[in-house]
A = this chain, B = another copy of it.
Amino acid sequence: MKRVKAFAPATVANVSCGFDILGFALDSLGDTVELVAKESPGLTVKSIKGDGGKLPLEEDKNTCSIAIQAMLDAMGSKQGFDIYLEKGLPLGSGMGSSAASAVAALVAANELLGNPFDKKDLLPFAIVAEKAACGAAHADNVAPSLLGGFVLIRDYFPPDVIKLPVPEGLCCTLLHPHYQLNTSDSRSVLRERIPLKDAITQSGNVAGLIAGLFQSDFELISRSLKDVIAEPYRASLLPGFETVKSAMLRAGALGMGISGSGPTLFVLSKGAHLHEKFGSEAKKIYDQLGLGLDMYFSKINTQGGGLIQS
């Protein structure tokens, strides 16, 4: 009986000025999917660990089986799989939970099928799953989870995905305060039309961020990490956002933004040494608000989803 295990990393999407077009992968958090090839057709989600019973086992609702089915359909294959999902990151936190599951499932299935697809070509199947899970066919979580590093999604029709360099020493601290945030609320606060001058400011900043990544220019990255399109509206949904952001910048962060549509916040820094300071400053603020806080520290994952050798 053929079986294989794959891991795919958590991700930060909507990277500040890169709203809707830029994401990056995290090193130390992610989901694991084990697949067993069946003799008969059909996908069966056998077990999910670490989700507190919240994720659906039905194969037409689970992000792993939806992704694999899209892949099988593209191949005209009837191969069946048993699916064992182990969640390694919190649901609904804005860290690309559904994307990590879909990507891990696809990497594992591709291996068991004899690698009919290049890794990059798995992306459309992950986008199908993302659409089912989130209602929108966005790629700024699945693309970095699949490819690693910073990934630009220049266009969707067809997907035009560009992997960007990661400056040595760039690190991320994730702050996950304990409150629920509805993705549809996060969408609905955005304006359908925005001032032209804000669009120009945003494009200048994203251009600066891309140049900063290529040049390993941390100061330019820091100056560019400003979102004038989404953050000013979404911040009002996030208790303590402005206070935490000011504290992180004072503590030496290159920048801070909302990870995906929140509530998790990402803090980028040069080197790992500031992590503890970020954590203690943030904890003080959330304590005052009566909110619990989980913190994670991660380098930028540059490999993306891959097999786990057993």
Give me the interface of A with B, judged by CB distance under 8 Å: 17-22, 152-155, 160, 162, 164, 190-196, 198-211, 214, 220, 223-224, 229
Contact between B154 and A229, CB atoms less than 8 A apart: no
Chain B residues whose CB sits within 8 angstroms of the CB of A20 once the complex forms: 200, 204
Nearest Cβ distance between residue A197 and chain B, in whole angstroms?
8
Q: List 18 A-B residue pairs with CB atoms under 8 Å apart, sorted by A's residue number.
A: A18-B207, A20-B200, A21-B207, A22-B207, A152-B207, A154-B223, A155-B204, A155-B223, A191-B196, A194-B195, A199-B199, A199-B203, A206-B206, A206-B207, A207-B207, A207-B210, A210-B211, A211-B214
- Scoring A192, A198, A209, A214 by chain B CB atoms within 10 A of each residue's CB, the highest score goes to A214
Q: Given the complex of chains A and B, what is the CA–CA distance between A209 and B160 in angstroms? A: 12
* Contact residue among B164, B192, B193, B223 (Cβ-Cβ distance under 8 Å from A160): B223
Q: Given the complex of chains A and B, what is the CA–CA distance between A196 and B205 in angstroms? A: 16
A155-B205, A162-B220, A194-B199 are known contacts; what are 12 more A-B pairs with Cβ within 8 Å?
A: A21-B207, A152-B204, A160-B208, A160-B223, A162-B208, A193-B195, A194-B196, A199-B199, A200-B229, A203-B203, A206-B207, A214-B214
Q: Given the complex of chains A and B, what is the CA–CA distance between A22 and B210 in angstroms? A: 14
Contact between B203 and A202, CB atoms less than 8 A apart: yes
Q: Given the complex of chains A and B, what is the CA–CA distance between A162 and B209 in angstroms? A: 11
Contact between A204 and B21, CB atoms less than 8 A apart: yes
Contact between A190 and B194, CB atoms less than 8 A apart: no
Chain B residues whose CB sits within 8 angstroms of the CB of A204 once the complex forms: 20-21, 152-155
Q: Given the complex of chains A and B, what is the CA–CA distance between A30 and B304 in angstroms? A: 48
Chain B residues whose CB sits within 8 angstroms of the CB of A164 once the complex forms: 211
Q: Given the complex of chains A and B, what is the CA–CA distance between A164 and B203 in angstroms? A: 15
Q: Given the complex of chains A and B, what is the CA–CA distance between A206 and B203 in angstroms? A: 7
Q: Given the complex of chains A and B, what is the CA–CA distance between A191 and B202 in angstroms? A: 17
Known A208-B162, A210-B211; judge A192-B195 contact (CB<8 A): yes
Q: Given the complex of chains A and B, what is the CA–CA distance between A190 and B196 in angstroms? A: 9
Q: Given the complex of chains A and B, what is the CA–CA distance between A95 and B103 in angstroms? A: 48
Q: Given the complex of chains A and B, what is the CA–CA distance between A153 and B227 in angstroms? A: 17
Contact between A199 and B152, CB atoms less than 8 A apart: no
Chain B residues whose CB sits within 8 angstroms of the CB of A201 once the complex forms: 155
Q: Given the complex of chains A and B, what is the CA–CA distance between A229 and B202 in angstroms? A: 13
Q: Given the complex of chains A and B, what is the CA–CA distance between A194 and B203 in angstroms? A: 14
Q: Given the complex of chains A and B, what is the CA–CA distance between A260 and B201 in angstroms? A: 18
Closest chain B residue, CB of each to CB of A223: B160
Contact between B21 and A203, CB atoms less than 8 A apart: yes
